[in-house]
Structure 1
């Protein structure tokens, strides 16, 4: 009954807002809806999305979607996926730090995942051209040659190729088309930033087209890795400098960029009945680790170097299984490639079949310094080598049944394999016991699903949608725990050869109703479910934790009401949504593993919490006068736990916030000034606010730490020639040079006494020249 009353409240809010907008629309009859070709303002420009398996205008889709086209991405200086979250309501995307390699943590409406380990499932579905990306690793996509980005908020249990509990982020690249065209772009900026982008479209024959695009990015880092012994001779810890540190004692610049990507596509489109595209891509990243610094210590403050420097050594001393000291790499290397085939065959005017086949493969190698300090005797570091491949096949059957019913049924399957080699030196856990091991763990995961969606229009203005999906999943993780010389590990030998498994299945559903009160106003209500797949405990300390530590899916039932409007001759677009998420069986880490039959240090997760998340979102686009465009968003999240398993201990309390940040907002404005024969000039300014965000506790029962709220601002000034095929832009990011730390690593604080945090990019400038032909 609580769920129904919550839905009723949201429905009342949505209908009240709808009635208000209707009244305003009726009171201003002069502001009729303009056709697409009569209005070219930002507010009136249509973006077509495919969130419900078919092309629909954004304003006709009864879902909370932030859709950004290529032009707006460029005007905001956004070149990688993590930047899109600044303007998307209730969305958090964060490039993870050195401990997690090149991976992207993501959450939408407070539901997501930030741990890269293949034992765990992402909470936000990531797609490129409808191809699902199954891991967080490799998710920091460059926005190369894109047509648009769609951010779908709320569970996508019946809509996407593979389920996503928090939402989905979909990138759509530009398809090869029937024209010969291209562009080339170059950027130079702060810290020797060099960026090159190019794309070209070719007509090979009638109905056969090709497109190539590439990107190269290089920039020096902004956090100095300083040799502690070199910079502090005669220090009380007796640490001496390393050979080769140089006169400035700097060993490396962290936060470096060194990225290259290439994509090629071949499209066969001889008629309206056949459209078949094969795409291949390759990505390489070879850089120093993320920009991170020690931000807190347990009394040993002299290991804090400063706001933009660190004494992290990545050095581990002799002891245990090693006869002499050695370095872990302070670099991240990623090589990934993929190929996909997306084809649609139109069997008649009302029936088509779509097939999406894809294969992806990557390898990532990175090192960690877990205490991020110079005192090497603590022994805290790791070497990681993750290999991965993924195959998926999706088939959709789309039919139009008469004039008022659309149907989609389909199936999805995927098969993925990971091999995670790691060499861990974690002597800090038990000083003197030389706790060291090598793992080489194979992880297998399979998923199969069938789904269907029906859209009916029983009367003019009213649309009813219903969807269902059945998913069956399997995952197994085999633990290999050896000494460095290949013998069974002294301390973790009981784990060697143990296989942990998870098997589960689930039905998801969604129903929605939307009503178009007028050409300017659409209101909708929807209820749907979603889940994040179950898995196995990734980092057990004994066999009992592995064998008994598998966990089931966490689930959401989401209730949402919203309104979408285009007002004042389509010069004002305002979309509002409110939601309540009933969040169940949340996967949480345990303090004690006694219930799993283990008295060792606990590294397990279980389904251990329930709660509710509530919030609202507002997105506005306005063009009050010709050439002047404004876009803005506001979002709020709140919620509370209703149940916490006692095994979680006091690491999470019922009084803790279930989601943060509470508030986010953004605003951007630009004005295009026509200079006649001299072209045009467009200044733009963007600001985005993120409220204080929970950083968790550094000790069970302690006070929750929060990352402070911060506002980031960017500015851009663009000149275009009269033909608008040449542009020169000057940009400044983080205009006010805000210092902020969006994430931290505190897992070893109890042993090492140090916490290190990511540091956001400081103010930097760049100039970009782009030529289209």
Structure 2
């Protein structure tokens, strides 16, 4: 990694400016090339260099041309970030600075917002990114402005808003595995003050790498369709209203594990049931804003989402139909699940005008979320061989949860001198969580020690999360020191069979950080560095209850303390017009400092000195964007994005290492103005790194790997 440090000073992800009014796309692009990078990380528009904290902002051109449309690829451009996927294909959870979501349906460690609406909660499943203004990744606890579950950081995904010119595009893509994509957009400026933008993405992939030889179907085939409409009304007088609605339907892979230690390959998977997940999501976001020179800016954000998932899984992960109770082999088992999450989020905030040396941002938020978790595992072979096919042998779980959360926050920015500011912030959050739980094995299973259980619980969690930042801005630099607290809300486990394993408590954190960033070369270059110490109390880790039913033995609980030291660097430079180079480098040492972990059949393992699971010690990225004239009417397009992750363990006990990631995406093409064509290869080095783990067959663990080299061609028509 020493060579990476030397290269760093030239590089970082590209970004674009925010759009305030119904303006043209051309004006946005011109602002992007001047170094005037605008973000809204502190819930107001300001230059990236003026924000006293580490932020990575990713541009739409980088996301599209470098094919960073999967959250996994996109987050590999962010220092200290990593995407953790569950082996059932139902959740993709973001980890930043060693803080993520340790199991399915738990409270996340990184808060995700889509068009300023909270989109984490009981299920965090970011869909593919298209027609975006930008993606902002805030690293480190954001307990004041973003609140609960922002221990590792927060991610803001901002959709493109209508612009002031009529525009449209259609992009078609053909790629390996019989993959077809169609993306379309139409921007309609109805008047000077009102515009509508329509966009959509369709994906159909018939083949893949994971072949189920029993059903002769590819497990990783998929199809999805998503559409979005954004309407914006911005008349004179400081008032604006924006409404965003999006709908997604998808049929995606279920558990795509293969057991390489048992001789299985991606092409020789044997499952008696084809694992599939089907989901649909509706999301709505509304923003009303009023800006006054004397009274400040008032903003009301309201919206939510409705997420439904229906899945079928081969629970035994084999094609065995004959049970062997002596070895614990129950034969064919089929699990069906239904999950639904309904959330409603409202935020009202006020940004004061500049009162001499002081400005204030204050607001209140309300979150109402409910989740349904219904699971039924049919022991097909046991039912057939022991019950004659008529007596049901079914494990049923009904786990319905709800959350009501109120919060108030304030941030005061006080100028102590012309170039020194003190920023004091605080937030108070009050959560009420409820669970209605029932474990309902059919009577025939009573002889196996599986008895019905129920629980109806209500728990309250509250937390005060203050923070303070000192910022010194000599010239074009911003040097800062900050202390920020955060917390992950407590709650209830979902996939458990024992009511005693339902509850877990809240996790708290404190982040100490110093950093600096500056622009160089008349704004053509931006570099930044930060060093931090993140401490965590009552860290959530996975435990196991070996007295519970198979497949339902894992649960979360609080165990001990942890600390993470880290250093992050990132930068960008535009040496000549049309060429942008960027990159980042991160190192961290995430380890437990106290606590114990129970593994095996009751074996107690001290946690002190062990590395936090699903974290990566080193993160490194390089990227390049080129758009240069070949002739008066033709531009050359080229993009490269390289990412590396190394170090880390799958598990709390540090028994299983995570392999190194070396991912290289390349693309090149020609832009003829109204038409362009782009050839690409993703994972050009064919690095099949592990992305998910789990399952148990004869004492071996299964693994899911990233797709190998995938090539294709994309063509776009603009009008």
Deviations 1:701-736 (A, max 9, x none): 7x6111221211111102112xx3422111011112
Q: Given the alignment, which residue of 744, 755, 763 partners 2:693?
A: 744
Q: Quote the residue 2:506 is aligned against.
A: 553
8 Å contact from structure 1 (residues 482, 488) kept in 2: no
RMSD: 3.2
Q: Given the alignment, which residue of 598, 601, 624 partners 1:669?
A: 624
Rg (Cα) greater in structure: 1
Q: Quote the residue 1:112 is aligned against.
A: 100
With over 3 angstroms needed to count, the CA separation of the structure-2 counterparts of 1:762 and 1:272, relative to structure 1, is farther
Q: Is 1:538 equivalent to 2:491 in the alignment?
A: no
Q: Is 1:261 equivalent to 2:226 in the alignment?
A: yes
Distance in 1, matches of 2:457 and 2:448, equals 21
Q: Quote the residue 1:12 is aligned against.
A: none
With over 3 angstroms needed to count, the CA separation of the structure-2 counterparts of 1:354 and 1:40, relative to structure 1, is closer
| Superposed displacement of residue 454, structure 1 | 0.8
**Partner secondary structure for residue 334 of structure 1:** strand
8 Å contact from structure 2 (residues 102, 541) kept in 1: no
| Superposed displacement of residue 135, structure 1 | 3.3
Structure ranking higher in helix proportion = 1
Q: Given the alignment, which residue of 164, 182, 203 partners 2:168?
A: 182
With over 3 angstroms needed to count, the CA separation of the structure-2 counterparts of 1:486 and 1:669, relative to structure 1, is same
Equivalent residues in 2 for 1:136-215, closer than 5 Å: 137=123, 139-160=125-146, 162-215=148-201
Which stretch of the first structure deviates more once superposed, 483-492 or 616-625? 483-492
Q: Given the alignment, which residue of 663, 681, 704 partners 1:712?
A: 663
With over 3 angstroms needed to count, the CA separation of the structure-2 counterparts of 1:504 and 1:755, relative to structure 1, is same
Distance in 1, matches of 2:381 and 2:563, equals 38
Equivalent residues in 2 for 1:366-381, closer than 5 Å: 366-376=311-321, 377=323, 378-379=329-330, 380-381=333-334
| Superposed displacement of residue 487, structure 1 | 11
Deviations 1:121-165 (A, max 9, x none): 111111111000133636232212100000000111001265411
Q: Is 1:727 equivalent to 2:686 in the alignment?
A: no
8 Å contact from structure 1 (residues 44, 573) kept in 2: no
8 Å contact from structure 2 (residues 414, 423) kept in 1: yes
Which stretch of the first structure deviates more once superposed, 275-284 or 420-429? 420-429
Which stretch of the first structure deviates more once superposed, 347-356 or 470-479? 347-356
8 Å contact from structure 1 (residues 670, 684) kept in 2: yes
| Superposed displacement of residue 42, structure 1 | 7.2
Q: Quote the residue 1:654 is aligned against.
A: 608
Q: Given the alignment, which residue of 414, 417, 440 partners 2:370?
A: 417
Q: Quote the residue 1:624 is aligned against.
A: 575
With over 3 angstroms needed to count, the CA separation of the structure-2 counterparts of 1:192 and 1:696, relative to structure 1, is same
Distance in 1, matches of 2:80 and 2:464, equals 26
Q: Given the alignment, which residue of 251, 254, 265 partners 1:306?
A: 265
* Alignment gaps of 5+ in structure 2: 1-8, 10-25, 324-328
Deviations 1:101-134 (A, max 9, x none): 43212111000104232xx211111111100013
Distance in 1, matches of 2:27 and 2:194, equals 29
Q: Quote the residue 1:332 is aligned against.
A: 277
Q: Quote the residue 1:529 is aligned against.
A: 485
Q: Given the alignment, which residue of 266, 274, 281 partners 2:246?
A: 281
Which stretch of the first structure deviates more once superposed, 465-474 or 345-354? 345-354
8 Å contact from structure 1 (residues 225, 312) kept in 2: no
Q: Is 1:568 equivalent to 2:521 in the alignment?
A: yes
Q: Quote the residue 1:589 is aligned against.
A: 542
Q: Given the alignment, which residue of 405, 408, 431 partners 2:361?
A: 408
Q: Given the alignment, which residue of 426, 450, 455 partners 2:408?
A: 450
Deviations 1:14-41 (A, max 9, x none): xxxxxx9xxxxxxxxxxxxxxx999969
* Alignment gaps of 5+ in structure 1: 1-19, 21-35, 229-244, 315-328, 595-600
Distance in 1, matches of 2:644 and 2:255, equals 23
Q: Quote the residue 1:6 is aligned against.
A: none
Distance in 1, matches of 2:124 and 2:515, equals 34
Deviations 1:399-440 (A, max 9, x none): 1242432211111111111111110247999x9999741122
Deviations 1:39-93 (A, max 9, x none): 9697753321111121111111011100012122223211232321111000112
8 Å contact from structure 2 (residues 102, 540) kept in 1: no
Q: How many matched pairs?
A: 677
**Partner secondary structure for residue 742 of structure 1:** strand
Q: Given the alignment, which residue of 418, 433, 436 partners 1:475?
A: 433
Q: Quote the residue 1:766 is aligned against.
A: 712
8 Å contact from structure 1 (residues 278, 341) kept in 2: yes
Which stretch of the first structure deviates more once superposed, 672-681 or 273-282? 672-681
